[in-house]
A = this chain, B = another copy of it.
Amino acid sequence: MKTANFEAILEAYERIKNRVHRTPVLENQSINQIVGNQVFFKCENFQKVGAFKFRGATNAIMQLSDDEKQTGVATHSSGNHAAALALAAQQNNISAHIVMPNNAPLVKQKAVEGYGAFITFCEPTLEAREATLKKVIEATGAIEIHPYDNNQIIAGQGTAALELLQEIKHPDFLLVPVGGGGLLAGSALAAKQLSPTTKVIACEPLGADDAYRSFCAKKLIPSRNPQTIADGLLTSVGKRNFELILNYVDGIVTVSEESIVQAMQLIWERMKIIVEPSSTVPLAALLEKKIDTKNKSIAIILSGGNVDLSNLPF
């Protein structure tokens, strides 16, 4: 199985850099004091559609052939990839067909609608999502753009870490949340080339710990009925992603729901920025002292900021 490589991330960066925001890297004194480290946050919550997913989606859409552009694209996604693909498609006058689980946050459903995509809802299981997507593709002929198990997507997501490591040279740690593993695989690829001394640690909710269990067992063990407030991390790791994770990720830690909410509240209160729970899993790992980071510098990718404001955990 061919997986993405560092060269593909560099190409993706050149391809998409004028289409995506170069998001800021922020630091917060009060959070530094609380965790006892210098922490740099790459703010992909400020990315277009409010999440890093726009990077991968744009990279994939821009590589479609003319014929493929005619038939359009399709995917299943719990939200951010859906919005990202919808906007990237709209910007290129391409049709987007999105399969969404019926428990996807309302704010994400609205965003996808707003970008002019066609939505089909299904039960919130991987099986239902895949079966529904298959039907949609049969009916429309659209090209599937998988949310994470796709080399163009992985390469696109890797551009966030690329930018981060251009600004913050050689942090001791790079912490990345893991759901399907697109962001993690791309980040690890970028980090191991740009800063081989940086330890790449994946951070995962205990209630959706398939990446952790798979990493320990060195074989893919998908989640069954995962439960976490971090709705972007409910999906199980993809095959391509897992191969890259085994090769380039130094460790995986899991965190409790309480820590995820606590980290979210800290970031909202101290940094005055809005991040979704999936984004706060790495800071949760620091709060739980799951990683030995004494006197180390830490870079974190804040993956997104799409939250249902009428349904907050505090």
Interface residues of A in 300-314 (CB under 8 A from B): 305, 309-310, 312, 314
Measured in the bound complex, the distance between the Cα atoms of B314 and A310 in whole Å is 5
Cross-chain contact A272 with B273 (CB below 8 angstroms): yes
Find out whether the CB atom of B107 lies under 8 angstroms from the CB atom of A305: no
Q: Is the CB of A268 within 8 A of B272?
A: no
A274 at the interface (CB under 8 A from B): yes
Give how many A residues have a beta carbon under 8 Å from the other chain's beta carbons. 17
Expressed in whole angstroms, the Cα–Cα distance for A275 and B268 within the complex equals 10
Chain A, range 266-294, C-beta contacts under 8 Å to B: 268-269, 272-275
Q: Is A265 an interface residue when CB atoms closer than 8 A count as contact? A: yes
- Determine whether A79 belongs to the interface, using a CB cutoff of 8 Å to chain B: no
Taking the closest CB of chain B, its distance from the CB of A54, in whole angstroms, is 13
Q: Does A72 contact B (CB under 8 A)?
A: no
Beyond A269-B309, A272-B273, 18 extra complex contacts between A and B, CB < 8 Å? A24-B24, A45-B272, A46-B272, A50-B272, A107-B269, A265-B309, A268-B274, A268-B309, A272-B274, A272-B275, A272-B305, A273-B273, A273-B274, A274-B274, A309-B312, A309-B314, A310-B314, A312-B312
**A-B CB contact pairs (8 Å), 9 listed:** A45-B272, A50-B272, A107-B269, A272-B305, A273-B274, A274-B274, A309-B312, A309-B314, A310-B314
